Amino acid sequence: MNKNVKYILILTVLCYFYFFFGNNLFSLTSPDEVFYVQTAKEMLANNTWMTPILFDSPQFEKPVFIYWLLRSAFLIFGINSFSVRFFPALFGFIGIITVYFFAKLLFKEEKKAFLSSLVLLSSCLYIGLARTVFTDMVFSVFILLSLFSFYCGYLDQRRKGLGILFFFIFSALAVLTKGPLGLIIPLAIIVVFLILARRIKFIFCKYTLWGLVIFSAIALPWYILMTVKYGNGFIHEFFYNDHYRRLIVAEHRRHDTWYFYPLTTLGCMFPWSFFVITALFYFFRSKNLTNTSNLFLACWIVVTFFIFQIARSKLTSYIFPLFGGLAIISGGFIYDMIIDKARRKQFFAISGALWFIFLLILICTIAALFKFSYYLSSLWPAYLLVFIFMLWLVIAIFNFINKRALAIFYMFVLFLPVFMSIIPFIYKDAEPYFSSKYACDYLLKNYSLDKNAYLLCSKDFARGTRFYTDMKIAVFAPDGGNYFSPHPIPVLDASAKTEEFLRQQPVTYGFLKESSLDDLKGVMGEDLELQVLNKIGNEYIIKIQSK
């Protein structure tokens, strides 16, 4: 069998189990998954494919492409957990196959490309984003495809035209997925690369002009339509609040540090973190950075990191477009260590350090399962982990003794999925802490609700409550006002506001976290009575009425 076919088949099977399998188990999580799905759901209810709608009003926190994918999934599979996670998983698969061919183009070696793909496929953030509803996977894969298209055209003059045209096509789709960075990031990478390679004239050609025309035809119509239809409301919310303001204001202040992205990037490449550190160290001290492939990889890493590092708003998933480049560098480095007998000791040393980390993680997880066993319906997950670890340890020792480096590498690839094998045993116990479904189901089944009334929620539960009840929502936020991207809902951030709101409804039901529950008791009037109906996960289900 052709090596390419064999590796693609293996990657396809692994992607199915890593990204698709079991996606129907968990209900949609709060607050982010339900944000995207509820927006698509309200677009469906309002029969629009163009205007994102949330809480019955247009919302412009993200462009429209992710909602097109979600609405398409509704048509194919209906509205359920598997359907809404289908396209992130599909794009995760596309990203892995693209990295394989990209690494093969860079290294001219199928096995090295295969290892690079496996590194990316088995890193924890990649698995996480492929199994959840965010824009980051789709956005990053479009950037990856745009860079791959350009590099194909750069290496082969016969493919130059197609390479440049597809660069602009995929960049346009990235812009429709998450905004202007979809062009800024890949264009900055290739411009810096061409300047350093002293070939900037490469992009001054008729293909670039046609590419810009195609880019404009794909990316701009939706932005023009929203500007014409909603005017300054769209411009202010999308371009100022959700883009420019994130450059100068930290949405999460504790993340606004110089070390946030270096640490989270390494952590999110787990279990390859130590290999990534070592690979980057040797890569950037190498004398071969002027080599075309190395220069392109260096520009990819440095330019992408710089763009996100200078922004004040930082989130772990923002830096995700970097991961393809990191996986290629790390996969190539691991391959070189495995085949070079002189460097194989280094591979075993790093592997030994990783096994120590695995040991700590497994011991802490098992200890936590026993310590907090009152949250679990069964202790089987703990026993299963003990068994898995003992089996894993025996296999690892055997491979270390026999110096089977490649077998150890494959064990690392399998670590996270094997570790995640306990999820089917605990998801029913854990799910109420991540999803509002159970709390909402309890309220809807046991109490008669006025569909015209508002449900009172803590900020984190508002979107999930809307999705699972379809009712109007008010947010109790004593420590702050609206969301970073404001939602068109009542926000009760003052005592007088809260009392007035509670007196306007004969009965108010809601979902509050513990701290909000205590705050609400402190601002309620003496004529109002608060009753805790139940606690499911971390949500207190409450009822407030006059005494």
**Mean per-residue pLDDT for 399-413?**
88
Higher pLDDT, 17 or 393: 17
Residue 101 has pLDDT above 90, yes or no: yes
pLDDT at 520 over 80: yes
User: Given a cut of 90, is residue 159 above it in pLDDT?
Assistant: yes
In this predicted model, which residue has the larger pLDDT, 63 or 480? 63
Among the residue ranges 336-345, 390-399, 502-511, the one predicted with the least confidence is 390-399
pLDDT, residue 374, reads 65
Q: Are 110 and 152 in contact (CB under 8 A)?
A: no
pLDDT in the model for residue 154: 95
Q: Which of 86-95, 306-315, 393-402, 480-489 is predicted most confidently?
A: 86-95
Q: Give the CATH number of domain 436-546; options: 1.10.3470, 3.40.390, 3.40.50, 3.90.700.
A: 3.40.50
Least confident of 314-328, 364-378, 414-428, 532-546: 364-378
Distance CA 26, CA 28 (A): 6
- pTM, two decimals, is 0.94
pLDDT of residue 241: 83
Q: Model confidence over 54-64: pLDDT tens digits?
A: 999 999 999 99
What integer pLDDT is reported at residue 1 of this predicted model? 63
Binned at pLDDT 50, 70 and 90, residue 42 comes out as very high
Question: For residue 369, is pLDDT > 80?
Answer: no
List the domain boundaries for the chain: 3-339, 344-425, 436-546
What is the DSSP track for 306-362?
HHHHT-S---GGGGGGGHHHHHHHHHHHHHHHHH-TTTHHHHHHHHHHHHHHHHHHH
Whether residue 155 is predicted with pLDDT greater than 70 in this model: the reply is yes
Measured distance CA(253)–CA(314) in Å, rounded: 9
Residue 319 has pLDDT above 80, yes or no: yes
d(CA 539, CA 460): 10
SS3 per-residue string spanning 11-61? HHHHHHHHHHCCCCCCCCCCCHHHHHHHHHHHHHHCCCCCCCEECCEECCC
Q: What is the mean pLDDT of residues 501-526?
A: 86
Higher pLDDT, 144 or 419: 144
pLDDT per residue over 26-35, tens digit each? 899 988 899 9
As a whole number of angstroms, the distance between CA 371 and CA 126 comes to 30
- Euclidean distance between CA atoms 396 and 359, whole angstroms: 12
The pLDDT, as a whole number, for residue 375 is 67
Percent of the chain topping pLDDT 90? 61
515 or 112, higher pLDDT: 112
Q: Could you please report the per-residue DSSP string of 402-417?
A: TT-HHHHHHHHHHHHH
| Mean pLDDT computed over every residue of the chain | 90
Q: What is the mean pLDDT of residues 235-243?
A: 86
- pLDDT for 170 equals 98
| Confidence grade of residue 281 (pLDDT, cut at 50, 70, 90) | very high
pLDDT value, residue 189: 97
Token pair of 36, please?
A: 């995207």
Task: Write the Ramachandran bin of 231: left for phi over 0, alpha for psi from -120 to 50, otherwise beta.
Answer: left
Does residue 125 surpass a pLDDT of 90?
A: yes
**The two three-digit tokens of residue 249, written as one number:** 């204001």
SS3 132: coil
Per-residue pLDDT band for 249 (boundaries 50, 70, 90) equals: confident
